[in-house]
Amino acid sequence: MTIRVVDEAVSRELVDEALALESAREAFLASVGDSTVYPVVVAPVTERGHRFTVKSGASGTAAVIKIGSYWPGNDAHGLSNHGSSVILLHPETGRIRAVVEAAAGNGFRTAAADALAVQTLAREDSRVLTVVGTGHQALYEARAAFRVRDFERVLVAGRRPEAAEERAERLREVLGASAAGPSSAGVPGGVTVEATSIEDGVRRADVVVTATNAKSPVIDAGWVRPGTHISAMGADGSGKQELGTALYERSSLFCDLPEQSRSIGEFWHAAPEVPVTALGSVLTGAAPGRVDADQVTVFDSSGFALQDLAFAEAILRRAGETQE
C-alpha cells in the first residue's frame, strides 16, 4: 500500500483560512458525535526546552496521530521552532495511509478554532478586536477572526510595549494586503491597528483573543466589559494560565473538549462545579451559546486530534485536486 505524503513545502502552499475554518467546523461537529479522543502526551525532552506532544483520536472509520514539537533554536538553522506531523491510519488495516507535515499550516488550524468560537459566540455587532500576545500566532488569530466579524479596530497588546508595536506594524501589513474597501486612518480596508497595554486593550474590546505562553493570569476579570467574548488559545499544558479565575464566576465557559480543557487547558484552573460546554454542542443546537448582549463568553482551546484529522484530510483532498 502506497503511503501518501504531503511535505511541509507543499502543505504551506495549500493551506488558507477558508480550508482551516471549514475543517474546524467539521471537527467540532464530530467531537460530539461518533468519535473518541485519547489523553494528550506532553513530553519534555531536554533541559533546553525541547518538547513534543502526541494527540490521537478516531472519528467514524478514520484514526489519527498528531505529533507536535517545539525545538527552541531551530530558527538559527533556518527551521521553524514548531513542528507538526499528522499521521492518518488506514481504517481497515491500521497501517499508515498518509503523512501530512504542516508546521506552517498549524497556525491556520489553531486560529480556525478561535474564529469558529468568535463566529458562534461573539456579538454580531463586535467591532473592536484585541489580540493579547506578540508571537507569530497573534497574526494568524487576527486574520482568522476577520473572516467571521467586521472589525473596525484591532488592538495589539503585550507585556513589552516595543514587541506590541512591532507586531501591530506587521499586522497592518498583513491586513492591508488582504482587506478590501476604502482607505482610512488605519490600513486599507478601513481597519485601524494600534499597539496598547493589555489592560487598555481588554477594557476597550468586544472580542479578546489571547495567544501567550503565560503561566500566571495576564487578564484581570475586572477589565472585561459586559458582552465581551474571549478566546483563550495559549494554555495547552499543565501550569499555563492566561485568565484570572474570578472571570469564571461571571462568564459562560465553552471549550473544544471539556475533559481535555480541565486537564491541560485554561479550565484546569476552574472549580469542578463550574459548568463547561463543548462548542460542538452549541453548533449542533444541543446546548445554548450566547443568550444575551451582556453575557461574557469564554472559549478555551487546547487543540484536539479530531481537528488535526479533519485538517489533514482537507489538505490531502486539495493536494489531490491540484494534481488532477
In the predicted structure, residue 17 carries a pLDDT above the cut 90: yes
Set of cell numbers at residue 82: 514548531
The verdict on 208 and 175 lying in the same domain is yes
Element (H, E) at 269: none
Mean pLDDT of 5-33: 96
pLDDT confidence of 178, banded at 50, 70, 90? very low
The verdict on 295 and 311 lying in the same domain is no
Most confident residue range from 53-62, 126-135, 176-185: 126-135
The verdict on 259 and 182 lying in the same domain is yes
Number of domains within the chain: 2
**Residue-averaged pLDDT of the chain:** 92
The verdict on 77 and 156 lying in the same domain is no
Dump pLDDT digits (tens) for 184-232.
334 446 789 999 999 999 999 999 999 998 999 999 999 999 999 999 9
> What are the residues whose beta carbons fall under 8 Å from the beta carbon of 150, sequence distance 6 or more?
127
| pLDDT confidence of residue 80 | 86
Mean pLDDT of 54-63: 91
The verdict on 12 and 68 lying in the same domain is yes
Dump pLDDT digits (tens) for 219-268.
999 999 999 999 999 888 878 899 999 999 999 999 999 999 999 999 99
CATH number at residue 23: 3.30.1780.10
Mean pLDDT of 164-189: 65
The verdict on 166 and 264 lying in the same domain is yes
Helix, coil or strand: residue 182: coil
| pLDDT confidence of residue 322 | 63
The verdict on 191 and 55 lying in the same domain is no
How much of the chain, in percent, has pLDDT values that exceed 70?
A: 95
Dump pLDDT digits (tens) for 100-124.
999 989 999 999 999 999 999 999 9
CATH number at residue 226: 3.40.50.720
| pLDDT confidence of residue 56 | 97
The verdict on 124 and 162 lying in the same domain is yes
Of 133, 148, 195, the residue nearest 21 (C-alpha):
148
The verdict on 19 and 34 lying in the same domain is yes
Range of the domain at 249: 110-303
The verdict on 76 and 221 lying in the same domain is no
Helix, coil or strand: residue 130: strand
| pLDDT confidence of residue 180 | 37
In the predicted structure, residue 144 carries a pLDDT above the cut 80: yes
The verdict on 126 and 200 lying in the same domain is yes
Please state, in angstroms and rounded to a whole number, the distance separating the CA atoms of residues 305 and 226: 33
The verdict on 163 and 246 lying in the same domain is yes
> What are the residues whose beta carbons fall under 8 Å from the beta carbon of 40, sequence distance 6 or more?
53, 54, 55, 260, 263, 264, 302
Catalytic residue positions, numbered: 66
